Amino acid sequence: MRCLLCPQWYETVSHVFCGCSVAKEILTSPPFSMQLPISPSFMFKEWMLEQAISLSDENFAKLLMMILWGLWKNRNEKLWNDSAIATLAIVASTMAWFEEYSLINKATGSQASPRIKGNQPWRPPIAGMLKLNTDRAFLQSATHGGVGGVLRNEKGEFIAGFVYHKEYVTSGMHVELLAIKHGLELLQAMTVTNVIVQSDCLLAVKAI
């Protein structure tokens, strides 16, 4: 069977997760920035074991649980529904899934994966308030990006969210500002005012 997403004439597990142009664009960009194997005979299982050793716990969780699942889900959507989403939309949606997983894991008392230096754990707002977290996905090699956000209450319960693909963006900062803009538009549409808007981009916050 040929690849459903690129011209490759023969689809294998290794190709779906590493060799396909969709997978390559994601894995060779931050936070992974991987040098992907070029040998047609490389073993996917061995490659995954190497990533378990070399990647941080959080990045390996993102890769194994979210990005690979997103790639497989996108491939099956193309197979069964003839519908596939843009690369950056895959990144944005899977990172939102990862955030939700982390919150649920924390709420149930499980041991969460250590966060990379610079990341701060999600902190609930005070009682009666909501918190909107926004984020972005941006590839230096592209002129488009993805934005997303999640609105939660003081218990960490999901209230609303959004994911958008954005054309003609110029930088990560540009996409961060668009993410905040869409978040504010969501709050306006919901007529929500008792809310804290949080972004992990200090430059964007200072610019506003």
Same domain, yes or no: 198 and 166: yes
Same domain, yes or no: 76 and 40: yes
pLDDT, residue 183, reads 92
- Segment 163-181, tens digit of pLDDT: 888 888 888 888 889 999 9
- How far apart (Å, rounded) are the C-alpha atoms in residues 50 and 10? 25
- How far apart (Å, rounded) are the C-alpha atoms in residues 196 and 133? 8
Same domain, yes or no: 19 and 119: no
Question: Is the pTM value of this prediction over 0.75?
Answer: no
Specify the residue for token string 């299982």: 45
pLDDT, residue 38, reads 65
Tell me how far apart the 2 most distant CA atoms of the chain are, in Å: 57
Same domain, yes or no: 61 and 115: no
Decide if 104 is inside a domain.
yes
Tell me the H-state helices in the chain. 13-14, 21-27, 44-54, 57-61, 68-81, 87-107, 172-190, 202-207
Decide if 3 is inside a domain.
no
Final residue in a domain of this structure, among 30, 52, 84: 84
Domain hosting 151: range is 93-207
Final residue in a domain of this structure, among 23, 55, 84: 84
Grade residue 116 by pLDDT with cuts at 50, 70 and 90.
very low
Same domain, yes or no: 97 and 75: no
pLDDT at 157 over 60: yes
Number of domains in the chain: 2
- How far apart (Å, rounded) are the C-alpha atoms in residues 84 and 190? 29
Q: How far is CA 63 from the centre of its chain?
A: 10
Final residue in a domain of this structure, among 54, 84, 114: 84
- What mean pLDDT, rounded, does the chain reach? 81
167-172: Cβ within 8 A, 24+ apart: 167/143, 168/143, 168/144, 169/138, 169/143, 169/144, 169/145, 170/143, 171/138, 172/136, 172/138, 172/145, 172/201
pLDDT, residue 187, reads 92
Same domain, yes or no: 118 and 78: no
